[in-house]
C-alpha cells in the first residue's frame, strides 16, 4: 500500500512538472508570435512589489490571476491546495513570488522581495 502511494506521488509530481513545462512552452510560442521575449511579462511583473499589492487580492480566481500576471513559471498541486510560482528560477527553494489557491481562489500570496 505504501509503495503504491509512493509511486502515485512520483507520478503526480512528474505530471505537475510536465504541465508546468507545457505552459512554459506555450508561453514561449505565444510570445514569439507577438515578437516579444517569452518571459518579458513575467520578469517585469515578478519583480514589481507595488504591482502585486495593487492587483493581487484574496479571493481572486485562477482566471483573474492569469489575466493580471500571465502564466506562472511553475504550478504545484496537492489535495485542495495549489501553488503558482512566478519566480524566475522556480526550482529555487525560495519560490517567491507565488500564489496559494484553496478551492480555486487566492488564499494567500508572497509578493516579490
Give the start-to-end residue ranges of the domains of the chain: 2-110
Average pLDDT over residues 57-69: 94
CB proximity list for 53: less than 8 A, separation 6 or greater? 111
H or E element: which one contains 109?
Answer: strand 105-110
Look-up of cell digits 513559471: 73
Which helix (H) or strand (E) covers residue 59, if one does? none
Tell me whether strands 105-110 and 74-78 are parallel, antiparallel or unpaired: unpaired
64/35: higher pLDDT: 64
Collapsing DSSP to helix, strand or coil, 110 comes out as strand
CA dihedral (44, 64, 112, 19) positive or negative: negative
pLDDT at position 39: 46
- Output the pLDDT for position 38: 44
Q: Is 112 a residue whose pLDDT tops 90?
A: no
pLDDT at 82 over 80: yes
Grid cell in block for residue 76:
504545484
Most trustworthy range by pLDDT among 29-43, 58-72, 94-108: 58-72
Express each pLDDT in 33-62 by its tens digit: 655 444 445 545 556 788 889 999 999 999
Question: For residue 53, which of 96, 94, 111, 95 has the smallest C-alpha distance?
Answer: 111
Amino acid at each position: 500500500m505504501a509503495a503504491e502511494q509512493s509511486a502515485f506521488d512520483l507520478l503526480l509530481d512528474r505530471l505537475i512538472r510536465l504541465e508546468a513545462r507545457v505552459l512554459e512552452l506555450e508561453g514561449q510560442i505565444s510570445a514569439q508570435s507577438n515578437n516579444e521575449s517569452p518571459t518579458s511579462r513575467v520578469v517585469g511583473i515578478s519583480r514589481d512589489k507595488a504591482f502585486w499589492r495593487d492587483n493581487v487580492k484574496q479571493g481572486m480566481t485562477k482566471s483573474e490571476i492569469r489575466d493580471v500576471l500571465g502564466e506562472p513559471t511553475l504550478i504545484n498541486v496537492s489535495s485542495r491546495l495549489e501553488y503558482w510560482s512566478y519566480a524566475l528560477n522556480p526550482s529555487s527553494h525560495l519560490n517567491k513570488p507565488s500564489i496559494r489557491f484553496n478551492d480555486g481562489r487566492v488564499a494567500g500570496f508572497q509578493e516579490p522581495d
